[in-house]
Structure 1
Amino acid sequence: MSTTNQRRSNGSDSSSPTPINNNWRTFVTLIRKAKPSFAMLSIALGLSLITTVVGLFVPLFTKNLVDGFTLDSLETYQIVLLVCAFIAQTIAGGLSIYMLNKFGQQILSGLRKLLWRKLLFLPVSHYDQEETGGLISRVTNDTNVVKQVVSEHMSGFVTGIISIIGSIIILLTLDWQMTLVLLVAVPLTLVILLPLGKKMHQISRTMQNETASFTSLLTQVLSEVRLVKSSNAEPIEYERGKKGIMKLFKLGVREGKIQAFIGPLMSAVIMILMVVIIGYGGLRVSDGSITAGELVAFILYLIQIIMPLGQLTSFFTQLQKAIGATERMVDILGKPEEIQEQGITVPAIDSAVQLHDVTFRYDNGEEILKAIDFTVPSGKVTALVGPSGSGKTTLFSLIERYYEPQEGSITFNNEEISSYSLSSWRSQIGYVSQESPLMSGTIRENMTYGLDQDISDEQLVSVAKMAYADGFISELADGYNTEVGERGMKLSGGQRQRIAIARALLRNPRILMLDEATSALDSTSERVVQEALNNLMKGRTTLVIAHRLSTVVDADQIVFLDKGSITGIGTHEQLVASHELYREFAQQQLRYQNQEA
């Protein structure tokens, strides 16, 4: 076995996810990957600090007004200074909010670009294990949770800390005894809030997982709504959706219970502190220990401590949600991806594709292909025939390099195809499947899909004619600019197939892979599509999964697969004479064709 084979995967991502600690370092690392403007964050937080610092001096100004207030003592400069302070505070606060929001949007955009790129470059094996809706939820919901922490809660956290520390320092200078009475409530509150925060994290993480599952269900059902309706499955799908909705409802109620406990608890603490401070402060004023102005200032500073406590609670609650979202995003971003440009370029020569003792299994399970050994001759048609589940489609996937075989090798021009860069190798292949999926957009966009060079109208019309597609396209009101709808549902099956063939012609591939593109069509459409396929196959190395006898009879070589092994190779006449299963297949097809006739 070659060194290339020794490092091959088992057909799925076998690397175990790296354990991720639930801490702020992971969160910060993820933020850095989004590459937002940290200069903007610094300015925004600086403006928030200015707002907070200005607010710290207002109670002191109020204290002086209360203690020595007369109309004569009120200087003009004091009024001007107070007005300027409020204006500066308002402007700085507004700018800070705007810049933090922009910083948050940069994070949101950066994370979504990272995840979107990662999802596009992950190998096909990853999608065998993950539901599409769950991945969509990572890109939409989880990124938004992280953004909210930064743009809506971080400023409150930073300024809240400064406000609390600054207020306590000033209060200690005003009256250290009353300040100590105030600080007794802090550890008591934390003893209750910290366990609740952990519980909130667990609920939030479960809720995000359930949201991803619900999104997956919606994506699956709505994308196949025609199947749902044709099967009268609306009540069944409603019940499935209702179960997901009720799970989210129950988790939301549990979250609400904790919030309902935290909210009144904070209110009770605030009210008790206010009563204690006003009562105790009144006694201190009456015995002359402090002035009335100092008591007013003390109450104002108490408010500047209490208000940020709510912001801190909200920040830590939201941070727990963001850490849960961060874990899943970091897990996806840590997955190994396909490297498009690593390897040599496929030489510009025609060559056979050779499979040497190829063995493959999914997830280390039962072998799907066993010691497959045959050659696909250059410029010839090779048909793969066999019962369902014999490994024909898996063989296509190996040649496309969606997976790597555990044993053996596939070569082109005497080089293992794994030594070629993915982009270079896949550009040699034209693939037309039974479904011929189209993307939402115009006919032109679908025909030129994946091609970076400009395609002229003349080229487009030329390949459309070869694919027998120009006739129906020219009859459409918008011609090549006609919208095909989601998955091409505005077009018939035969029309979609012909557009897929035109797309393959535009790529001008040297290797054709056809998953019997006519098997799902009516006889009229089949004849037209078959003519288009004949144009496509001329002079190309072709590998076709055959379900119709007409395709098999015309093939230069037939490979019969059964339970993952090759049980016969030859022409139609040779296999009819020597291979019992193939002979049965041919007889069944003849009976089917006679019935159609």
Structure 2
Amino acid sequence: MKNTQAPQKQGAAMKPFLKLLHETKPSYMLLALALGLSMISTLVGLVIPMFTKNLVDGFSLASVSRLQIAGIAGAFIAQTIAGGVSIYLLNAVGQKVVAGLRDRLWRKFLVLPVSYYNENRTGESVSRMTNDTGILKTLISEHLASLFTGVISIVGSISVLLFLNWKMTLVLFTVLPLSALILVPLGRQMYKISKGTQDETASFTATLSGVLSEIRLVKSSGAEQKEYEAGRSGIMNLLSFGIREGKISAMISPLVSFVFMMLLVVIIGYGGMQVSSGVLTAGELVAFILYLIQIIMPLTQLTQFFTQLQKAKGASERIIETLAAEEEVYEGVEEATGEEGPIDVEDLSFGYKTGEKVLNKVSFTMLPGQVTAIVGPSGGGKTTLFSLLERFYEPQSGVIRMNGKPVSMFSLKSWRKRIGYVSQESPLLAGTIAENLGYGLDREISKEELQAAAAMAYADGFIAELPDGYNTDVGERGVKLSGGQRQRIAIARALLRDPKILMLDEATSSLDSQSEAVVQKALGNLMQGRTTIVIAHRLATVVNADQIIFMEKGRITGKGTHEELLRDHELYREFAEQQLQMNTPELPGTVIEEGARGYGQNTGSGRRSAYPRIGGSLSES
């Protein structure tokens, strides 16, 4: 039963691999031309032993005409040119196939949802793009021709040998099946090893990417030795797989050499007896040996091909898994355009795969142009709520509506285009300040627009002091800039997007007081006339919000203005007493520390105060 299932499993494993190659749409014309040239080169090689036989059996150099010499020379030249062009064309096809695969993978990585990257490490994705596709390229450009030419060479040589002396040819078949019984199991072992090697390579790449991208944390934590040990473990695992692969190769190569030498001894011994008895001519014996070489050499190449094929099958499995992963749905019934309306969050519930619900029946409304603040203990689900508003995840139940329409109706691009997001980290990409300011915009940004946005974000001052101004390289993840500078770049970037909805996630919590003051001014400019939702741990920054929502363990436990929550929500009152240093002999007369800064209410002029200073009683504010 095992013997009958094994070929089926091998065939089943080949189908996805062949389908993957087909989907890359290689140039079949070029591939056919390359293989045709390889076959021509092989067929020419099959003629040479017969010419040698004739020379040994009675021809002399004197009897060979110039035309024959020219023909032989032309055949050698044609064989050389055909072989060289074939190698070049196969390499070109292999490179194009890999480029097509990498293009598909890169597009796939960009449209996969955030949840995919929660489950898969970045380094593993990088390994799919580089190592696994490289294995497929090697198979096509370096080993594919050997499959066809090897089969032609072996079949052609055996056919000629049967014609020359069928008895001695049958002697060959007593040895070749024995070697196949050993080579086939070794090939299966190579498949398992190569698959393990690819998985370990992906894991090792992920470890390297994670450590090197956070090298400052590693050094500041004194974790160099710990990370060295983790990396060394990956290196040793790869070494183990490499040694196991070496063992298989060490068995395959000597086995092929042993078979060749054994056949050579048999042919020379048996053939010598045939020559001495007059059954076989000396020329035929020489031709036999040359054809034997043309059988054994392709066998070696075929062994290498099937070894590489096992590796390619393992690599293609991982690529196929990635390409089959569920993508974000970018299309929608309509575009999210037009005037800004109220945003309603209705009974929103969500939980990650590995835990309980992070949000549980969350409901509230954000009115156009108003500020909504989300406060509460850590782990309450505030950042998850932002992710759902950005549609990084889909809610498990409940709905988010804009103007009464579910936001799932809108195309992702048009919805996210309405949103400006400024987070605590203020992520920047390696490149210039100008490139980061215009990142993601589908239009050209003029120098005047960049300068105007930078000025509103209070970033123009420090940019002007940089040697290259807007062309200054910010380094990987913006490491050449301070936290406050990165925040102001992020605010200027949001200004250039001109979003209708503004999301601020702890946008000032990691800044010193001086940087925070400047960033608060910039945020005040950014918030003008926009629907704003703010996550804040420090109540001083949100006491003047139009509504404050208090979240605990995924639920809304309080909703209202600062004054209303002080009066009605015990935990909010505790937060306020701890953070705002309030004297609360009685709630109506509560006084907030002079100088508290935050996101203020609309002023009489319709502009939002960037620096609301709150003093006196709450009733007066």
Structure 2 Cα separation of the partners of residues 71 and 385 of structure 1: 99
Question: Which of 184, 189, 199 is equivalent to 1:194?
Answer: 184
How far off its partner does 1:595 sit?
13
How far off its partner does 1:124 sit?
0.6
Please give the secondary structure, in 2, of the residue aligned with 1:553. Answer: coil
Structure 1 Cα separation of the partners of residues 149 and 228 of structure 2: 47
Structure 2 Cα separation of the partners of residues 212 and 301 of structure 1: 44
Structure 2 Cα separation of the partners of residues 591 and 94 of structure 1: 82
Question: Which of 449, 452, 462 is equivalent to 2:442?
Answer: 452
Please give the secondary structure, in 1, of the residue aligned with 2:61. Answer: coil
How far off its partner does 1:591 sit?
4.2
Structure 2 Cα separation of the partners of residues 343 and 270 of structure 1: 68
How far off its partner does 1:596 sit?
11
Tell me whether 203-212 or 364-373 shows the greater mean CA deviation: 364-373
What are the equivalent positions in structure 2 for 1:336-351 lying under 5 Å apart?
Answer: 336-351=326-341
How far off its partner does 1:28 sit?
1.6
Q: Does 1:417 align with 2:407?
A: yes
1:569 equivalent in structure 2: 559
Question: What is the identity, as a one-letter code, of the residue corresponding to 2:300?
Answer: G
- Contact 1:20-1:26 at 8 Å conserved across structures: no
Question: What is the identity, as a one-letter code, of the residue corresponding to 2:310?
Answer: Q
Q: Does 1:163 align with 2:175?
A: no
- Contact 2:502-2:532 at 8 Å conserved across structures: yes
Please give the secondary structure, in 1, of the residue aligned with 2:340. Answer: coil
Structure 2 Cα separation of the partners of residues 230 and 165 of structure 1: 66
Q: Does 1:227 align with 2:223?
A: no
Question: What is the identity, as a one-letter code, of the residue corresponding to 1:154?
Answer: L
What are the equivalent positions in structure 2 for 1:476-495 lying under 5 Å apart?
Answer: 476-495=466-485
Q: Does 1:94 align with 2:84?
A: yes
Structure 1 Cα separation of the partners of residues 482 and 331 of structure 2: 37
Question: What is the identity, as a one-letter code, of the residue corresponding to 2:170?
Answer: L
What are the equivalent positions in structure 2 for 1:497-516 lying under 5 Å apart?
Answer: 497-516=487-506
Q: Does 1:110 align with 2:93?
A: no
How far off its partner does 1:73 sit?
1.5
1:3 equivalent in structure 2: none
2:111 equivalent in structure 1: 121
- Contact 2:332-2:408 at 8 Å conserved across structures: no
Structure 2 Cα separation of the partners of residues 21 and 294 of structure 1: 41
Structure 1 Cα separation of the partners of residues 422 and 212 of structure 2: 25
Structure 2 Cα separation of the partners of residues 364 and 219 of structure 1: 25
Name the CA shift for 1:71/1:148 in 2 (closer, same or farther; >3 Å): closer
Question: What is the identity, as a one-letter code, of the residue corresponding to 1:531?
Answer: K
1:334 equivalent in structure 2: 324
Structure 2 Cα separation of the partners of residues 201 and 512 of structure 1: 52
Question: What is the identity, as a one-letter code, of the residue corresponding to 2:440?
Answer: G
- Contact 1:22-1:323 at 8 Å conserved across structures: no
Structure 2 Cα separation of the partners of residues 437 and 63 of structure 1: 75
Q: Does 1:151 align with 2:147?
A: no
1:9 equivalent in structure 2: none
How far off its partner does 1:364 sit?
6.8
**Structure 2 stretches lacking a partner, 5+ long:** 1-8, 583-591, 597-621
Please give the secondary structure, in 2, of the residue aligned with 1:441. Answer: coil
Structure 2 Cα separation of the partners of residues 23 and 40 of structure 1: 26
Structure 1 Cα separation of the partners of residues 10 and 491 of structure 2: 47
Question: What is the identity, as a one-letter code, of the residue corresponding to 1:394?
Answer: T
Question: What is the identity, as a one-letter code, of the residue corresponding to 2:194?
Answer: S
1:394-421 Cα distance to aligned partner (Å, 9 max, x none): 0000110011111111100100001110
- Contact 1:20-1:327 at 8 Å conserved across structures: no
Alpha-carbon RMSD across the aligned residues, in angstroms, is 1.6
Structure 2 Cα separation of the partners of residues 329 and 415 of structure 1: 38
How far off its partner does 1:365 sit?
3.5
1:134-181 Cα distance to aligned partner (Å, 9 max, x none): 111001100000111110000111100110000000110000011110
1:230-263 Cα distance to aligned partner (Å, 9 max, x none): 0010000000001110011011111111111111
Structure 1 Cα separation of the partners of residues 338 and 555 of structure 2: 32
Tell me whether 547-556 or 426-435 shows the greater mean CA deviation: 547-556
Runs of 4+ residues deviating >6 angstroms: 592-597
Question: Which of 576, 584, 589 is equivalent to 2:579?
Answer: 589
Question: What is the identity, as a one-letter code, of the residue corresponding to 1:584?
Answer: E
Structure 1 Cα separation of the partners of residues 42 and 337 of structure 2: 67
1:466 equivalent in structure 2: 456
1:431 equivalent in structure 2: 421
Question: What is the identity, as a one-letter code, of the residue corresponding to 2:14?
Answer: W
Structure 2 Cα separation of the partners of residues 54 and 150 of structure 1: 23
Question: Which of 398, 403, 406 is equivalent to 2:393?
Answer: 403
Tell me whether 579-588 or 90-99 shows the greater mean CA deviation: 579-588
Question: Which of 50, 56, 68 is equivalent to 2:40?
Answer: 50
1:102-144 Cα distance to aligned partner (Å, 9 max, x none): 1110011110000010010001111111111111100110000
Question: Which of 273, 279, 283 is equivalent to 2:273?
Answer: 283
Question: Which of 349, 354, 357 is equivalent to 1:367?
Answer: 357
Structure 1 Cα separation of the partners of residues 377 and 269 of structure 2: 89
Please give the secondary structure, in 2, of the residue aligned with 1:462. Answer: helix
Question: Which of 432, 439, 442 is equivalent to 2:432?
Answer: 442
1:16 equivalent in structure 2: none
Q: Does 1:542 align with 2:532?
A: yes
1:317 equivalent in structure 2: 307
Please give the secondary structure, in 2, of the residue aligned with 1:513. Answer: strand
Structure 1 Cα separation of the partners of residues 341 and 38 of structure 2: 68
Question: What is the identity, as a one-letter code, of the residue corresponding to 2:427?
Answer: P
How far off its partner does 1:452 sit?
1.5
Q: Does 1:529 align with 2:533?
A: no
How far off its partner does 1:550 sit?
2.5
How far off its partner does 1:586 sit?
1.2
Please give the secondary structure, in 2, of the residue aligned with 1:346. Answer: coil
2:297 equivalent in structure 1: 307
Q: Does 1:389 align with 2:386?
A: no
Structure 1 Cα separation of the partners of residues 248 and 201 of structure 2: 20
Please give the secondary structure, in 2, of the residue aligned with 1:23. Answer: helix
Tell me whether 268-277 or 578-587 shows the greater mean CA deviation: 578-587
- Contact 2:127-2:201 at 8 Å conserved across structures: yes
Q: Which has the higher contact order (CA 8 A, sep 6+)?
A: 1
Structure 2 Cα separation of the partners of residues 401 and 26 of structure 1: 33
Please give the secondary structure, in 2, of the residue aligned with 1:453. Answer: coil
Structure 2 Cα separation of the partners of residues 583 and 74 of structure 1: 110
Question: What is the identity, as a one-letter code, of the residue corresponding to 2:74?
Answer: C
Please give the secondary structure, in 2, of the residue aligned with 1:275. Answer: helix
Please give the secondary structure, in 1, of the residue aligned with 2:455. Answer: helix
**Structure 1 stretches lacking a partner, 5+ long:** 1-18
Structure 1 Cα separation of the partners of residues 533 and 147 of structure 2: 63
Structure 2 Cα separation of the partners of residues 294 and 21 of structure 1: 41
Structure 1 Cα separation of the partners of residues 60 and 396 of structure 2: 91
Question: Which of 579, 584, 591 is equivalent to 2:569?
Answer: 579
1:7 equivalent in structure 2: none
Q: Does 1:176 align with 2:174?
A: no
- Contact 1:200-1:317 at 8 Å conserved across structures: yes
TM value normalised by structure 1: 0.95
How far off its partner does 1:264 sit?
1.0
Question: What is the identity, as a one-letter code, of the residue corresponding to 1:455?
Answer: I
Question: What is the identity, as a one-letter code, of the residue corresponding to 1:337?
Answer: E
Name the CA shift for 1:161/1:596 in 2 (closer, same or farther; >3 Å): farther
Question: What is the identity, as a one-letter code, of the residue corresponding to 2:531?
Answer: T
Question: What is the identity, as a one-letter code, of the residue corresponding to 2:129?
Answer: V
- Contact 2:540-2:580 at 8 Å conserved across structures: no
Please give the secondary structure, in 2, of the residue aligned with 1:289. Answer: coil
Name the CA shift for 1:322/1:595 in 2 (closer, same or farther; >3 Å): farther
- Contact 2:143-2:305 at 8 Å conserved across structures: yes
Structure 2 Cα separation of the partners of residues 417 and 342 of structure 1: 9
Structure 1 Cα separation of the partners of residues 579 and 167 of structure 2: 98
Question: Which of 497, 520, 523 is equivalent to 2:510?
Answer: 520
- Contact 1:138-1:329 at 8 Å conserved across structures: yes
- Contact 1:204-1:324 at 8 Å conserved across structures: yes
